[in-house]
Amino acid sequence: MRRTLIESLFRGKLTEPAPRVGEAEPMALLTELGETARGRLGRSLAIRELDAGSCNGCELEITALGNAFHDLERFGLKFVASPRHADVLMITGPLTRNMLEAMRSAYEAMAAPKFVIAVGDCACTGGVFAGSPACIGAAAQILDVDLRIPGCPPDPVTLLKGLIGFANALASAPTHRSTQS
């Protein structure tokens, strides 16, 4: 183990520069945010990831955000274990009927102000599962969605662009936004 540790010390970082977040990014960012949100959240976001019936492809790429190349915590973004600790509910999958109640419970457990991010084509539109009698479809059918990050699955850099852009929008939001209960 000693050799591995010493080599890791001298190998240099794997972490790469942050992706540039341009105006052309396909993001429906929120326009109004409360002073409270800005004061409380600042430039940090606690995210509760919720798999609402995905194929697991999105989860693989979301997990990859934590590896040494992307290292999302340096941007003030972190995944938390409980919705009670979360500012953001990140939803993947075409919202199956069997996950509806769990998704509602998780959302209700979050303290306001709270936000919803739909990740992947399934959570954005239902994807290839749209129209299935076992699925409800896009997360927006049930919850107000603040940001959509499409892709099947979106790659980690696309995810980072969306999340950093979202955190920036939150931090610089000029006006009030009613907090959702």
The residue (of 34 and 151) whose beta carbon lies closer to another protein is 151
The nearest distance, CB 30 to another protein, in angstroms, is 24
Q: How far is the CB of 42 from another protein (least distance, A)?
A: 24
Is the Cα torsion angle 149, 130, 106, 111 positive or negative in sign?
Answer: positive
Nearest to 104 by CA among 139, 154, 147: 139
Segment near another protein (CB under 8 A); pick from 26-34, 37-45, 96-104, 164-172? 96-104
Per-residue CA distances from 155 to 23, 148, 179 (Å): 19, 14, 31
In angstroms, give the least distance from the CB of 149 to another protein. 15
Report the alpha-carbon distance of residue 55 to residue 57 in Å, rounded: 6
Which C-beta is closer to another protein: that of 115 or that of 129?
129
The answer to the question of residue 4 lying near another protein (CB under 8 A) is yes
Distance CA 119, CA 94 (A): 10
Q: What string marks each residue from 97 to 136 as x (binds another protein by CB under 8 A) or -?
A: xxx--x--xx--------------------xxx-xxxxx-
Which of helix, strand or coil describes residue 76?
coil
Reduced to 3 states (helix: H, G, I; strand: E, B; else coil), residue 48 is strand
The residue among 63, 77, 58 whose CA lies nearest residue 19 is: 77
Closer residue to another protein in complex, CB, 23/101: 101
Stretch that binds another protein, among 20-28, 30-38, 54-62, 168-176 (CB under 8 A): 54-62
Cβ 127 vs Cβ 152: under 8 Å: yes
- One-letter amino acid for residue 78 of the chain: K
Q: Is 67 in the site for another protein (CB under 8 A)?
A: yes
Question: Would you count residue 141 as binding another protein (CB under 8 A)?
Answer: no
Using CB under 8 A, list all residues that contact another protein. 1, 3-5, 7-8, 14, 49-64, 66-69, 79, 81-83, 93-94, 96-99, 102, 105-106, 127-129, 131-135, 152-153, 155
